Structure 1
Amino acid sequence: MNYQNQLTLTLSLLLLPLGVLSQNVVTGTITEASSNSPLPGVNIIEKGTSNGTTSDFEGEFSINVSAFPATLVVTFVGYNSQEITLEAAQQITIALQDGVALDEIILVGNRSKPRTILDSPVPIDNIGLAEMKKTGQPTVDKMLTYKVPSFNSTQQTISDATAHFDPADLRGLGPSRTLVLVNGKRKNQSALVYINDTPGKGEVGVDLKSIPAAAIERIEVLRDGASAQYGSDAIAGVINMVLKKNVEYTTVNAKAGVTTEGDGFNYAVDLNTAITIEERGFLNLTVGYYEQEETNRAGEPGKDVLFGVEANDPTWGNWLANNPDLGMTIGQPELKKFDLFFNSGLPFKNEKGEFYTFGGLTSRTGKSFALYRAPYWVGDPHNLLHDANSEYQGFQPTFETDVIDNNITAGVKWELAGFNFDLSGTFGRNAIDYEVNNTLNVDLGANSPTSFAVGGYSFSNTLANFDISRTVGAFSFGLGAEVKKERFNSEAGQPESYTGSGAQSFPGLQPKNAVRAERENYGIYSEIDWEPTDKLLIGAALRYEDFSDFGNNTSWKVNGRYLLGDKGALRASYSTGFRAPSLHQIYLSNIQTLVSGGTVSNQGTFNNVDPIIRNDLGVPQLSAETSKNISAGITYRIKNNLTVSADFYNVKVDDRVLFTGEIGFDDDNMSTNPVEQVLLNNSITSLKFFVNAVNTNTSGVDLVVNYRKIDLGPGQLNATLAANFNDTKIEGKIDTPALLASNGYEIFNRKEQARITSSRPKSKILLGLDYNLNQWNFGLNNTYFGSVTWRHADNGLNGADLGDGPLPTNDEDYDQTFKGKVITDLVIGYEFNKSLSANIFVNNLLNVYPDEVDTKGDFVTDLGGRFKYPWEVSQFGFSGTVINASATFKF
């Protein structure tokens, strides 16, 4: 054994009487080498089997092994791992040293046998809580954005409820195609469909703000298609949130911050603790609160070309001079969030099983802002929104949300006759209630309220899972079944919110928009791994799913891995996958107020089961998307503290579900076509719907280099370089329904296509430097966000009347590319003692903003100058520099 390159191992053989220690039980204690203090939560796995356990508060563990000799693999995030071969039952003490984490045990990616990152045939990131917190970001989705190059999530603005969720995705494939797990169990999706002009438009994702970072031990990010193992949604990959178990200390964190502009003040406090249950069981509890104020980075055009009001207008010139930003508030919304999470396990007395349960509740409220209604936009509203003795100044409606997300899982694991069983049940629900305040319904006149309950949505799923696994010689088998029921509800708003033209900015959901929909599905899966030699692994997986609303699907996967000694591995996989259209996409309908082409209009979204869509317009029933995913790569440990990995991937998605662009009246005023008749019959100016209509092809490369424990002066430096390069193309023609195509309609124009191909950066590079000097820690993180491109709906070809600037020529068009930028984050930390530490975070140290919008004569691009920075494509937001300070107390 090479002790210099392995863990420092103190192994004391204390052979106990057979009457005290079971024949196949190994017990011991895990400690930290530098301090000799116990390490709770360390993974101990019997190599070649699925037998495993974790250390408790005192660092102690007990594991039943299948037979002797037995090899134990001991791993923990941020420490070197060790393999220990034992000839008989005994008690051991192991001291772990800091190191690179190629040998950490991961849960995601294989359901028949635990594996390490090195052993895995697919690329997996394993990110500990300490790494996430060093980003200085307030929520899990933002933390992942600055830790995983292929993950993107940015703050949205002026986008109704989307501003309170922020679409997040892997590899630019949209929020719908990333599966999120908690402790390996499926997390419920949110109740929201992103229907506004943002990245991820028309998609449904998981509410990542509903999982508090303080409850998480680590996050595993599987960057490979996994539908054959986990079912629908896993086309781009899987994110598994592993909750804390045993913890040595109760930890209290407090944090506060503000932008250098003086707005966006935020503060947070959270507590995590654990208690022991019957000596070896545990209950981990997390409670937290977070609050933030809004920011404002509106443009200041000083005139309003949307309504033809110039700066020197004789009536409104004074108002424009006093309000050059046209009254707008554009930035992050107000937010208040409360979290309560738990994770518990209770081993059987014979150590051959465990009862477990985990879950949580998140409640948050938010307030964002709609377009300001200048006094010339909506007439004097009968003094409803201003003092009767003052001059009417217009008003800005607020969009306010009340979000509840709750989930709970309970299950039991046990071992019998060499088989491992896992039976569990999961319930998860996300609900959103909307209010629109500081507004009115002009059709109600002086009787109009100024605050409206405009409706809401809820989505829930109930699952039961049963998994069986066993390892026999060189083979590991897994099989299982899942039964799931999903429910989607839409509630109408109060009558005043939708009567006539409805509440300004967001007419309430109407009774005809209300829906209670549900569906069931069941799935069965099997997988097998064959390791004919210590170096070679060949695996396969097969999954069959049957949905009550659209039919069935079979997905499969093959993969392989070849170890390059203990230095690294070559890996590759090929899989098929699918994504069932969400209930939201099938049943969502509403009417929304838009500003388009200089006019204010009402747009209707019709659901896929509406006779108007299915019969009148000939739109087919939604069906599942299907995919083909291939990846190949290498991971290699150049030396003990230096590792590199590179993975190529290609993902083809067929029959992708789209949310169409606006379908309205054509330029022919002489006749009414069938589509226009639908608009007239429903008193709307345009409509949208969901349809399977496009095939996409995404190719990319992921690169990761970790260099740890570099001696530099009196301290040590850790360096990480990670990058993602990707490109998505639309293949073939858009599949437009025949009736719409024959009447000249384009359902997915250039602008909508750009949301798939260029709204997210095609490249992202992270360079993280972390320097430890005695009690000090200094971090400097640089994140390069590549360019994004906004494309005009028709590039001015039919838009000669869109503005007062020059028309496009061969050398000039309305499209705009916002060039790549580097965001630099600085972290300074000091550990006063083992109980108290503090940090200062300066996010976006150099106060970098995206390129400003250049309208090129098209005032719709920035809504007449209201938007200074891009809002329909996204890189890193536009809050500027944010300074935060935090303190952590352990006891």
Structure 2
Amino acid sequence: MKKLLTNLKILTLLLLIPFITWSQTSVSGKVINSKGEGIPFVTIIEGGTSNGTTSDENGAFHLNVSKLPTNLKASFIGFKTQTITISSANNIIISLVEESFGLDEVIVTGNRAKPRTVLDSPVPIDNIGVNELKSSGQTTIDQMLTYKVPSYNSTNQTISDATAHFDPADLRGLGPSRTLVLINGKRKNQSALVYINDTPGKGEVGTDMKSIPTAAIERIEVLRDGASAQYGSDAIAGVINIVLKKNVEYTNLNVNSGITTKGDGFNIGADINSTLSIGENGGYANFTLSYYQQELTNRAGSPGGDGLFGVIFGDDAILNGTLPWLQQNPDMGMTVGQPEMKKGEFFYNMALPFKNDSGEFYAFGGLNTRKGTSFALYRTPYWVPDPFNLLHEAGTEYQGFQPTFETNIQDLFNSIGFKFDLFGFNADLSGTYGMNSVDYTIGNTLNPDLGAASPTNFKAGGYTFSNLIANFDLNRSFGQLSLALGAEARKEYFKADAGEPDSYFGSGAQSFPGIQPTNAVDEDRTNYGVYANLDWDASENFLIGGAIRYEDFSDFGSNSAWKISSRYKLGKKGALRASYGTGFRAPSLHQIYLSNIQTLVSGGTISNQGTFNNVDPVIRDGLGVPQLNAEESKNLSAGITLKPSNNFSFSLDFYKINVDNRVLFTGEVGFDGDNNTINPVEQILNDYNVTSIKFFINAVNTETNGADFVASFSNINFGGGSLGINFAGNFNNTKIVGQIATPQVLAENGYDIFNRKEQARITDSRPKTKIMLGFDYKLNDFSAQLNNTYFGEVTWQHASDPAKDQTFAGKVVTDINFNYNFSEKVSVNLSINNLLNVYPDAIDTKGDFVTDLGGRFKYPWEVNQFGFNGTILRAGLSYKF
């Protein structure tokens, strides 16, 4: 793979060399509105040519023109097109006048036929520029969106194997699988990992949001509405479209670093973004290189005793000899916090326009590679012995060990295509390849069954998911009608590679037995889809639209989805909007074919749990579990947008989402405690030498009701500067409707395949309320942002005893960010995340030692609001040249 990537890079550079030319005259300037503020993403074209560019997030632009003097035409939805004649090369000012009072942010997501403004859109969409993302002070896209979009949530997990390196993220509380992620409008591949640990999103598959560098992003559009009829599977909760930078004016170099106030979690990163002009028709190639690394944090509990194993202070501890070790290690050796990580990224976005403005060739994508280290439960001296001195020196007192879970993650995404005219239609023919892989190494551990011959590091295998997609899209406007048509063919691959034999021999390596050959998988499927989208501007104010999509999957059959939407403008100051549609989510290949053996600790008992895949006869025939099928949804949304003045806007949207036949990862199905008889489930457990089994099944229906609101005040005169205020929130509630569809064999033998704890992971593991209040102040070269985010309460439910449930109260996290421009080229940034050092409520076990694993966890880990790193200090330097 490395050799192939190297050859592809060399070939790409050789192909680009003939096209790279430098124009005779370079001009630069800025596009501003009536208040002198820069307008981002304005299209600027040289008169009489197709040569053009787009202004950056500050309104600045840079363009190579053929001659001077010449004309420049600037256009942007919501503003009157302006043409000016220029005779100089620098300090060009283009002033655009607003056409009307309206929500004038241009968005392309959710509109297959033509771009619209936020006001024109019949569905709610957030348009978040890169500067707004950076002002959160966060370092990854998933965390930036968490602090900018109220209905989006992502938190770092701990002691959860590979899940610690792929933070589960969701929109509107519907789980990671039900949000579709696009890059420049093309489907991003899912990650290779299934979240099988006890975290939010358990049993689901998401997109690796850490694989896209922030420095490559121009803006992110978040469609908060079901869109399966337009984009296909997964778009039940909404769509996130990541728009990459294009022809930027400057080369930008950024360096940043941070650390917690406890002195751990040190991180440092650097990135560079630049653009090359290609050819004479306005071609460009934007490149981003990025590096980032972080150290671990540790917020383990310190109970002093170990209730999980019945080891407590007092006579017991003295008699069994554990008291000295517990006194020396009140945290029981644990490391509970963010993992170590190093990552490097390369991204690009290029376009080569054809002559006479007849179309363009484009390509974009990138490679992300990262290595991470997280930790498993510490093996105390009284838990796992080391009689052969593999992890300690002979003659020294044995202290136990904490196994490491080390990941090597690769994510590759590339899309190429052509845009051209076809019989009056705007045509787009593209091909996209995406791949995500994760390989496991289990370190600082041993396999007791190998005795003195046991290694202390094990290659435990890994997973790979990839897809190959072909798209052909057409759109055209016929007066007041806008029509979009398209077809898609997709091939998906899922592969599980076995670990080295030592990793799974006997009971396997401590903390994570390697993937066995019997669990190795190499499967694929194909699917084909067609769609049509029609919008009709019946009048200047009234829009009605509809979409329909049909898809056929090789493994489970076909599915159809449709959607209708409408918008009515309230003059020039607002609009009413509504939509209703159906949606679907195909079960992922991972969920169909994943199988493994995993070490669990429950109630002081160490056991091996087996996950059997959906095509295994043990599951299908032995337990009567049906073939996995697509989830189906119904999505109703209605709202209002208002912008009574240029400086104030408001939107409020209500939604109801029903999802039927949700794919579940069951709870543990084990022995029923009756030693006199062996039921069919117990026979399977004995045959496969496991103490419990899990499997995937369509088994539950859910209903989600909620509301989103966004209010924005801008350009408030304050202290000689300009103040902006943003107030936004999400209210969200998901409930299970009807009964869990338990297979007959399991129901007859009294098994609960989805107990209270597992159900709460769907209904209560994410905040039901999230409210943001932010202030943005600008004074000359100085700017500051103060953001307050309220994360509502979450509830952990005990598997069987409601008296042991715990609700963790809502908390406000305050972030502050300062930026100062020393010149047009140099600026510095300082930020404090979680200024007031807020932590979640501590766990109250209420007599159940399993809740916090014997006191090892101080803060909640199965439900999560905002993590528990505390205050983080960050600083950054930016240089433009």
Q: Could you tell me the TM-score, scaled by structure 2's length?
A: 0.91
Q: Does the CA-based 8 Å contact 1:28-1:93 persist in structure 2?
A: no
Q: Which moved more, 1:409-418 or 1:881-890?
A: 409-418
Q: Which moved more, 1:312-321 or 1:658-667?
A: 312-321
Q: Pick from 808, 826, 832: which aligns with 1:836?
A: 826
Give the Cα–Cα distance (whole angstroms) in 1 for the partners of residues 539 and 102 of structure 2: 24
Q: Does the CA-based 8 Å contact 2:105-2:118 persist in structure 1?
A: yes
Residues 801-835 of structure 1: per-residue CA shift (max 9 Å, x gap): xxxxxxxxxxxx10000000000001111110110
Q: Does the CA-based 8 Å contact 1:125-1:220 persist in structure 2?
A: yes
Q: Does the CA-based 8 Å contact 1:100-1:641 persist in structure 2?
A: no
Q: Pick from 552, 556, 559: which aligns with 1:553?
A: 559
Q: CA deviation at 1:381?
A: 3.7
Q: CA deviation at 1:564?
A: 1.6
The answer as to 2:337 corresponding to 1:336 is: no
Partner of 2:69: none
Partner of 1:542: 548
1:681-760 paired onto structure 2 within 5 Å: 681-760=687-766
Please give the secondary structure, in 1, of the residue aligned with 2:357. Answer: coil
Give the Cα–Cα distance (whole angstroms) in 2 for the partners of residues 713 and 245 of structure 1: 36
Partner of 1:42: 42
Partner of 1:260: 261
Give the Cα–Cα distance (whole angstroms) in 2 for the partners of residues 610 and 405 of structure 1: 30
Partner of 1:236: 237
Q: CA deviation at 1:84?
A: 3.3
The answer as to 2:139 corresponding to 1:138 is: yes
Residues 19-69 of structure 1: per-residue CA shift (max 9 Å, x gap): xxxxxxxx9986346999998842479xxxxx998537955599xxxxxxx
Q: Does the CA-based 8 Å contact 1:38-1:58 persist in structure 2?
A: no
Q: Does the CA-based 8 Å contact 1:39-1:58 persist in structure 2?
A: no
Q: CA deviation at 1:102?
A: 2.1
Partner of 2:23: none
Partner of 1:429: 435
Q: Pick from 369, 373, 376: which aligns with 1:370?
A: 376
Q: Does the CA-based 8 Å contact 1:284-1:342 persist in structure 2?
A: yes
Count of residues in correspondence between the two structures: 828
Q: Pick from 834, 837, 849: which aligns with 1:847?
A: 837
The answer as to 2:846 corresponding to 1:861 is: no
Give the Cα–Cα distance (whole angstroms) in 2 for the partners of residues 599 and 335 of structure 1: 32
Residues 766-789 of structure 1: per-residue CA shift (max 9 Å, x gap): 111011122211211000000000
Q: CA deviation at 1:850?
A: 0.1
The answer as to 2:502 corresponding to 1:512 is: no
Q: Does the CA-based 8 Å contact 2:42-2:74 persist in structure 1?
A: no
Q: CA deviation at 1:306?
A: 1.5
Letter in 2 for 1:638: P
Give the Cα–Cα distance (whole angstroms) in 2 for the partners of residues 55 and 352 of structure 1: 19
> Aligned pair in 2 of structure 1 residues 762, 53: CA closer, same or farther (>3 Å)?
farther
Q: Name stretches of at least 5 consecutive residues in structure 2 with no aligned partner.
A: 1-26, 66-72, 84-91
Partner of 2:271: 270
Partner of 2:793: 787
Q: CA deviation at 1:107?
A: 1.4
Please give the secondary structure, in 2, of the residue aligned with 1:519. Answer: strand
Q: Does the CA-based 8 Å contact 1:41-1:246 persist in structure 2?
A: no
Partner of 2:95: 95
Letter in 2 for 1:356: Y
Q: Does the CA-based 8 Å contact 1:30-1:60 persist in structure 2?
A: no
Partner of 1:55: 54
Q: CA deviation at 1:568?
A: 1.4
Give the Cα–Cα distance (whole angstroms) in 1 for the partners of residues 568 and 805 of structure 2: 47
Q: CA deviation at 1:390?
A: 1.0
Q: Does the CA-based 8 Å contact 1:299-1:866 persist in structure 2?
A: yes
Give the Cα–Cα distance (whole angstroms) in 2 for the partners of residues 228 and 602 of structure 1: 42
> Aligned pair in 2 of structure 1 residues 53, 544: CA closer, same or farther (>3 Å)?
farther
Q: CA deviation at 1:842?
A: 0.4
> Aligned pair in 2 of structure 1 residues 101, 229: CA closer, same or farther (>3 Å)?
same
Q: CA deviation at 1:94?
A: 3.5
Residues 272-293 of structure 1: per-residue CA shift (max 9 Å, x gap): 0001001300000000000000
Q: Does the CA-based 8 Å contact 2:402-2:444 persist in structure 1?
A: yes
Please give the secondary structure, in 2, of the residue aligned with 1:350. Answer: helix
Percent identity of equivalent pairs: 64
Give the Cα–Cα distance (whole angstroms) in 1 for the partners of residues 439 and 625 of structure 2: 30
Give the Cα–Cα distance (whole angstroms) in 2 for the partners of residues 645 and 733 of structure 1: 36
Give the Cα–Cα distance (whole angstroms) in 1 for the partners of residues 239 and 696 of structure 2: 25
Partner of 2:447: 441
Residues 300-349 of structure 1: per-residue CA shift (max 9 Å, x gap): 01011122222241211111000000000000000001010000001111
Give the Cα–Cα distance (whole angstroms) in 2 for the partners of residues 398 and 863 of structure 1: 18
Q: Pick from 303, 308, 311: which aligns with 2:310?
A: 308
Residues 154-202 of structure 1: per-residue CA shift (max 9 Å, x gap): 0100000000011000000000000000000000000000000000000
Partner of 1:203: 204
Q: Pick from 666, 678, 681: which aligns with 1:672?
A: 678
Q: Does the CA-based 8 Å contact 2:664-2:699 persist in structure 1?
A: yes
Please give the secondary structure, in 1, of the residue aligned with 2:287. Answer: strand
Q: Does the CA-based 8 Å contact 1:226-1:238 persist in structure 2?
A: yes
Letter in 2 for 1:334: E
The answer as to 2:352 corresponding to 1:346 is: yes
Partner of 1:118: 119
Partner of 1:251: 252
Partner of 2:288: 286
Q: Name stretches of at least 5 consecutive residues in structure 1 with no aligned partner.
A: 1-26, 46-50, 63-70, 76-80, 87-91, 797-812
> Aligned pair in 2 of structure 1 residues 381, 135: CA closer, same or farther (>3 Å)?
farther
Q: Does the CA-based 8 Å contact 2:52-2:63 persist in structure 1?
A: no
Letter in 2 for 1:225: G
Q: Pick from 43, 65, 76: which aligns with 1:74?
A: 76
Letter in 1 for 2:715: K
Q: Does the CA-based 8 Å contact 1:527-1:539 persist in structure 2?
A: yes
Letter in 1 for 2:246: K
Residues 115-142 of structure 1: per-residue CA shift (max 9 Å, x gap): 1111100000000000000111010000
Q: Does the CA-based 8 Å contact 1:243-1:343 persist in structure 2?
A: yes
Q: Does the CA-based 8 Å contact 1:488-1:517 persist in structure 2?
A: yes
Q: Could you tell me the TM-score, scaled by structure 1's length?
A: 0.90
Q: CA deviation at 1:597?
A: 1.6
> Aligned pair in 2 of structure 1 residues 52, 692: CA closer, same or farther (>3 Å)?
farther
1:494-643 paired onto structure 2 within 5 Å: 494-643=500-649
Q: Does the CA-based 8 Å contact 2:28-2:61 persist in structure 1?
A: no
Q: Over the residues paired in the alignment, what is the CA RMSD in angstroms?
A: 2.3
Q: Does the CA-based 8 Å contact 1:38-1:59 persist in structure 2?
A: no
Residues 705-753 of structure 1: per-residue CA shift (max 9 Å, x gap): 0111100121110110010000000000000001000000000000000
Q: Does the CA-based 8 Å contact 1:642-1:708 persist in structure 2?
A: yes
Q: Does the CA-based 8 Å contact 1:381-1:442 persist in structure 2?
A: no
Residues 439-467 of structure 1: per-residue CA shift (max 9 Å, x gap): 00000010000000001000000000000
Q: Does the CA-based 8 Å contact 1:55-1:61 persist in structure 2?
A: no
Give the Cα–Cα distance (whole angstroms) in 2 for the partners of residues 834 and 565 of structure 1: 41
Q: Does the CA-based 8 Å contact 2:107-2:116 persist in structure 1?
A: yes
Letter in 2 for 1:227: S
The answer as to 2:487 corresponding to 1:481 is: yes
